Structure 1
Amino acid sequence: MVHTGAVEWAGYDDVDAREATRANRAWWDANAEEYLSEHGEFLGPADFRWCPEGLREADARLLGEVAGRRVLEVGAGAAQCSRWLVGEGAHVLAMDVSAGMLARARTLDAATGVRVPLVQADARALPLDDACVDVAFTAFGAIPFLPDADRVHAEVARVLRPGGRWVFAVVHPVRWAFPDDPTEEGLTATRSYFDRTPYVEVDAEGEPGYAEFHRTIGDHVREVVAAGLVLDDVVEPEWSPDNEHVWGGWGPVRGRYLPGTAIFRAHAPG
């Protein structure tokens, strides 16, 4: 069912996994243009920012050497990161489940003159052969919006070549204990960090229109390891002093005190 109703209630509640997955796909289709209108300037049409803190791959180099390598972006959205990687000499494939976001990606391809191969696919069922990718990554794609993100890690592990790298950025788990407020009001914990109840928005009929799923640091680590991958690092970007951009619950006031993003870097054995 495609969710079209206005948000009647938002908060933390259990949600049917299949309904939540369908709702999130429909939400991104419907809100792709609005999302890019709000955040497109910060992201840039062909730039690679890992997170609202402002960390760029040009500085962090979390993917390692990409020139000449096959790189997969999972949950690519409008493929801004992939477009930047093309300029670095990578052979990139960008995937997203949302037709709306991929349509925006084609618009940015035309505007920048940088074309990225795009595929519409569920991150839990990548339409790729085994061991065909050197590097896979996602910057806030797929994982937060799926109740079974362990399947994403398993699929990435399947398509990575031995020694291939998997890097993914998510909302820092500690943030779930605090209100989604970028001001001083967001500095006081109001929920248990260990409460994994999803955040959900529903309409007047009680149908979900959007959902996000919380995992602790330990949950993320266990899912990566269970997929047969080796965890190399967890990066917690600090807020850039010159970054005044406010993005939902992210902003310079709270960013000085609390981490907003966690980036996990892992590799396939071999």
Structure 2
Amino acid sequence: MAGDPEEPAATRRTADAAESSRANRGWWDRNADEYQEEHGGFLGDDRFVWGPEGLDEAEAGLLGPADALRGLAVLEVGAGAAQCSRWLAARGARPVALDISHRQLWHALRRDSEAGAAVSGGAAVSGGAAGSAGTGGAAGAGGAAGTGGSGTVALVQADATALPFRDGSFDLACSAYGAIPFVADPVRVMREVHRVLRPGARWVFSVTHPIRWAFPDEPGPEGLSVAASYFDRTPYVEQDETGRAVYVEHHRTLGDRVRDVVAGGFRLLDLVEPEWPAWNDQEWGGWSPLRGNLIPGTAIFVCERD
């Protein structure tokens, strides 16, 4: 239609922390509705899925035994519509779902409302004031605090590189494809998560497997031939006609990710590369049964705070 904005152009170029944060906050706010409509059925309302392969925390147990989650203060980084946090709450944990996108958190509120679950504070909270998960969830700007217990999820809008919580507020932290691929300085996120965790706490996060950056982001045979250098760390950027970034994703090699974990003050306990299961016939962007049976699509880092 005449007058419609042009589709963003994809390129590889540098993008600093401020540009990445601004672009991705806007992208997720604009695309949250479409994302939840397309993938919400797969993610469920209260399911903890680590990636497009469909590896379920209920089976994987990467956070530890499910019966040991009860009473734990848990931070989910890049929570989207808080499906993972809702799964945690159903097991008696006291989760805080944090995301940079207000619209993603709106979907968390919508899902809770539809399910009749209690949502602490009744609204997404814009982070900025220091809070404590302590015994009552998380307190951010505006003073909303989670009360914990089954079905209760506290929602906080904030950037993962500046977590609005006091030191040692959480017993556990997790992230399923949230925040880390989209920040220019992942070590800053690691150090922030380290700061808000208690000693000995576990930090588990999943990202696109780094090897995927060498292949075209296509689910079919065209996505099976190497098209770029695995070692090219130049960010992937979508930009408008003025050159303004509207989406940014940052590539790190597998070794880079391990070094980021260590630089953030964590010990790496395990690196999980889920295999594509026979039951999963869904294509999700460049993830597909064809590619998933040949090359890994997700890397999950199981870490522990020193």
Output the TM-score relative to the length of structure 2. 0.85
**Alpha-carbon distance, 1:56 to partner:** 0.3
Is residue 248 of structure 2 the alignment partner of residue 211 of structure 1? yes
Is residue 127 of structure 2 the alignment partner of residue 124 of structure 1? no
1:157 equivalent in structure 2:
194
Provide the C-alpha distance between the structure 2 equivalents of 1:13 and 1:126, rounded to a whole number of angstroms. Answer: 27
Deviation track 1:22-41 (CA, whole Å, cap 9, x = no partner) reads: 01100101111111011000
Bigger Cα displacement from structure 2, 238-247 vs 16-25: 16-25
**Alpha-carbon distance, 1:16 to partner:** 4.1
2:57 equivalent in structure 1:
57
Unaligned runs of 5+ in 1: none
Mark the CA change 1:5 to 1:126 in structure 2 (over 3 Å): closer, same or farther: farther
Unaligned runs of 5+ in 2: 120-152
**Alpha-carbon distance, 1:15 to partner:** 2.8
Matched residue type, 1:39: H
Aligned to 2:36, what secondary structure does the other structure show? Answer: helix
1:69 equivalent in structure 2:
72
2:35 equivalent in structure 1:
35
1:146 equivalent in structure 2:
183
Considering only CA atoms, is the larger Rg found in Structure 1 or Structure 2?
2
8 Å Cα contact 1:7-1:201 kept in structure 2:
no
Is residue 239 of structure 2 the alignment partner of residue 239 of structure 1? no
8 Å Cα contact 2:204-2:300 kept in structure 1:
yes
Provide the C-alpha distance between the structure 2 equivalents of 1:158 and 1:17, rounded to a whole number of angstroms. Answer: 20
8 Å Cα contact 1:203-1:209 kept in structure 2:
yes
**Alpha-carbon distance, 1:20 to partner:** 2.4
Aligned to 2:247, what secondary structure does the other structure show? Answer: strand
**Alpha-carbon distance, 1:111 to partner:** 1.3
Aligned residues: 266
Matched residue type, 2:282: H
8 Å Cα contact 2:48-2:87 kept in structure 1:
yes
RMSD: 1.2
Is residue 218 of structure 2 the alignment partner of residue 181 of structure 1? yes
Among 78, 87, 103, the residue aligned to 1:84: 87
Aligned to 2:49, what secondary structure does the other structure show? Answer: coil
**Alpha-carbon distance, 1:68 to partner:** 1.5
**Alpha-carbon distance, 1:204 to partner:** 1.1
Provide the C-alpha distance between the structure 1 equivalents of 2:94 and 2:199, rounded to a whole number of angstroms. Answer: 18
2:304 equivalent in structure 1:
267
Output the TM-score relative to the length of structure 1. 0.96
**Alpha-carbon distance, 1:13 to partner:** 2.2
